[in-house]
Amino acid sequence: MTNDRAVGIHDLSFRTGSLVLTHAELSKHTGASVAKYHKGLGQQAMSLPAADEDIVTMAADAAAPIIERHGTDRICTLLFATETSIDQSKAAGVYVHSLLNLPSNIRVVELKQACYGATAALQFAAALVQREPEQQVLVLASDIACYDLDSPGEATQGAAAVAMLVSVDPSLVEINTPSGLYTHDVMDFWRPNYRATALVNGKKSMAAYLAAVEGAWHDYQAREGLSIEKIRTVCYHQPFTRMAFKAHRHLLDTAGVEADATATDHAIAPTTHYNEIIGNSYTASLYLALASLLDAEDELDAETLGFFSYGSGSVAEFFTGRVVPGYRAQLRTTAHLEAISRRRDIDYNAYRRVHTQPLPDDGSQHRLPHQTQGSFRLSGMEDHQRIYEAVH
């Protein structure tokens, strides 16, 4: 039976990799000025996974507090969005299902379209809940952004996972229709199966992102979406945080509004606090922007927010959501700040050593040291199988 009740994000929690490299430290070795990183890219630090962390451990860590608060009785579906997939066949969400002891009567599936995947998951989740209002859907977005050493992309790496519970009568954000959609086949950023790091044409990717802002906004307007004046601010996918400011100026321009630089900065800055110290987390990045905004601002009751999701390749979506009055009571600000502050600072040499994932690519037996600050770890590999465990 379908319903007319509001559907949206009922709870949101994130976790990040346990290691952190500051851009001040990076700049000492790359020859770039620290101002380029801090001001030009808007990045202060990047999260990196510890040896025994991956998309599964980060996602399980992000989701565990949601399960603790809401239980599992109503969860019928787990959607795992990632572009750091660990297997060509088995969904990473099945490992999370096991680590969190979820019941067997749940469907689990993995979704991929670069950084856009989590938005597809959120919209599919909303449609499922619309169809069966008694069910809830757990949406996980978990990624490790990894570029070649000494490449321009290196300064935009990062790692994080977001977990969202989607339900009727949500406590945080109601998701509105319509959405503005945009797909365009472009080779701006991609990662062939044989590579651990992404290939990217940086300038082309920024142009493709801005073209997608325009395309998705025009489609949103064609579907009789809200006018720009009705939208308090926009959460953008943030490959690096300056991109959100550039995108917002471009959106205002496209919407025919004269962009006042101070007002733009004021609108976008609250969405960037987490991403500027975590870095790009691909699928999770847009929802870290939402977490940043909700955790930072206390006067968002009943406000309308815009969301712009971009995944290279490319697919994009613009949609809006209404912040549910009383949302502050549900926030996890303290836990988010704790997850960030417990990261271990590493220097440039240590960073070079941990840059790519430590498991052997021949599937042979391997044990990993206990380094994570989180509640779940990848303990190693045996017979081509990843072995996970809860940390007690």
246 in a known ligand binding site:
yes
Q: Cβ distance 281 to 46 under 8 Å?
A: no
Contacts of 41 (CB under 8 A, 6+ apart): 155, 156, 240, 241, 242
* Contact flags string 147-176 toward ligand HMG, x per CB under 6 A: -----xx-xx--------------------
Q: Is 265 left (phi over 0), alpha (psi -120 to 50) or beta?
A: alpha
Q: Which of 3, 5, 28, 33 binds ligand HMG (CB under 6 A)?
A: 33
Report which of 200, 167, 183, 197 is spatially closest to residue 8, judged by C-alpha positions: 167
Residue 80: phi, psi to the nearest 5? -115, 115
Is residue 29 involved in binding ligand HMG (CB under 6 A)? no
> In the bound complex, what is the minimum distance in angstroms from residue 66's beta carbon to ligand HMG?
25
**Known active-site residue 235:** no
105 in a known ligand binding site:
no
* Contact flags string 45-84 toward ligand HMG, x per CB under 6 A: --------------------------------------x-
**Known active-site residue 214:** no
**Nearer Cβ to ligand HMG (129/243):** 243
**CA–CA separation, 363 and 345 (whole Å):** 30
* Contact flags string 279-308 toward ligand HMG, x per CB under 6 A: -x-x--------------------------
In this structure, which amino acid lies at residue 69? Answer: R
Task: Tell me the C-alpha to C-alpha distance, in Å, between residue 95 and each of 24, 77, 78, 102, 122.
Answer: 36, 14, 11, 10, 20
Burial of 383 (0-12, 13-18, 19+ CB in 10 A): exposed
**Nearer Cβ to ligand HMG (36/70):** 36
Q: Which of 24, 40, 196, 337 binds ligand HMG (CB under 6 A)?
A: 40
Query: Among 9-17, 38-46, 49-57, 332-340, which window interacts with ligand HMG (CB under 6 A)?
Result: 38-46
Q: Cβ of 309: how many Cβ atoms within 10 Å?
A: 28
**Known active-site residue 237:** yes
Residues with catalytic annotation?
A: 83, 115, 237
Binding annotation: 147, 246, 280
